[in-house]
Amino acid sequence: MRVVLATMGTLGDVHPFIALALGMQARGHEPVFAGAESVRGIAERHGIEFHPVRPDGPQLLADTGMDEGEIARALATDFGFVIDRVLVPYAEATLADLMPVIASADLVLTSSFSIHARIAAQAAGVRLASALLQPITLLSAEDPPVLPRGETMLVALRRWFGARAVRPLLRLAERTYARKLRPFAALRARIGAPPFSGNEMLSGPLAVDRAIGLWSPAFAPAPADAPACFVQTGFVFYDGGFAGQGLSAAVEAFLQAGPPPLVFTLGTMAIYAEDGFYAESAEAARRLGRRAVLLVGDDLLTKQQALAGPDVLVVGYAPHSQLFPRAAAVIGHGGIGTTGQAIRAGIPQLVCPIFGDQFDNAARIARAGLGLVLPKRRYTAVRAAEVIERLLGSDAIAGRARQAGADIAVEDAVGRALDALGIDAGS
């Protein structure tokens, strides 16, 4: 079976698709990764066929006239940015890149934002599935999301009045953002794809043959109103990064030189709009008398190196699966990749959400008793030290985190996902 995996975004968006592609290879199938040029090295390192899809990062920076920090801040303040500046302007180019590779596929697996791939698959009559990376994508009225700027109104309405009070507001949100996506209706008509009356970005990922939820019940169980096409599989993991590196000699030496450190990270996008997060984190660790590892991104390593000291290690990247199990706690932004890896490691986490799904992920971590929340806009050394001290002093959180890690250790999430997609061994 030839399967096209189409996604866009940061490593947190890419890694799950690589994990699934490797699982497909192991079952004797042909995965094709369709994404930004920056992912080519990861795919080809594992013998996964790669197909480039525009826009890539340099093109987006050049065309918008923005740097990485400005784009990160735009994402944090304007939910429509990805529609207005990424999805719609490049629709023709993205579709032109995708149509030839999708035409030869037996199955197309897309991420939530891969509208163009869904349209191309429907136009070609190819079986279509979605990989949902976080619970917010279900837009559940029974288990409503915390909204992209941290608003908890829908959660409160569900508690007070039930799901019936939430559904109209979710539908209103879908209609509101659907207006921005109207150019895709014309695109559908032009290439012969069937019309779609819903929101291409919010409800489109659920209007498929199969939707797989790539998160574990230990983090968030499937809600009662999940659609019939939905199967929850658990987290799928890969974290080789762009270069496929393991722990560096410097990281290994630091870990062996003392007690488990605190790990501070903002993933691969929010690092460009960290706005003092790492300096405050280093100071918080010093106030607590704790050792710390700051994951600052390779591009910003030189800039942040001044924060290093005998008990503070500053590095660009380290595989979370190798670093987190040796940490005392993870302090991160709430990206789903980082969140899942911290749960897998069985350690407490402090989530400092900035934008998008991160607020919902943070709320679910707190609800599951796996950690605490301190929004990045309120993050200072003093506040962080106070909350981290409370986090590390909680036997209840430590116990739940260990149990969640143990639960994930026995999941065969990749196998369950492939079974749900009908990708059998040797078929």
Residues 151-162 pLDDT 10s: 789 999 999 999
Say what percent of the chain tops pLDDT 70. 99
d(CA 240, CA 320) in angstroms, rounded, equals 9
> What's the pLDDT band for 15 if we cut at 50, 70, 90?
very high
The CA radius of gyration of the chain, in Å to the nearest whole number, is 21
What mean pLDDT value characterizes the chain?
94
The answer for residues whose C-beta is within 8 angstroms of residue 178's C-beta and 6 or more apart is 198, 199, 200, 202
d(CA 129, CA 111) in angstroms, rounded, equals 9
The answer for residues whose C-beta is within 8 angstroms of residue 417's C-beta and 6 or more apart is 20, 23, 131, 212, 214, 231, 233, 236
Domains of the chain in sequence order: 2-235+411-421 (3.40.50.2000), 249-410 (3.40.50.2000)
d(CA 397, CA 347) in angstroms, rounded, equals 9
Per-residue model confidence (pLDDT) at position 149: 67
Residues 338-373 pLDDT 10s: 999 999 999 999 999 998 899 999 999 999 999 999
Q: Is the pLDDT of residue 101 over 60?
A: yes
d(CA 271, CA 243) in angstroms, rounded, equals 18
Per-residue model confidence (pLDDT) at position 150: 63
Residues 408-423 pLDDT 10s: 999 999 999 999 999 9
Per-residue model confidence (pLDDT) at position 412: 96
For 153, 322, 332, the CA distances from 238, given in Å and listed in that order, are 35, 11, 18
CA angle 379–367–345, rounded 5-degree value: 75
Give the residue among 182, 198, 318 at the shortest CA–CA distance from 249: 318
Model pTM score: 0.95
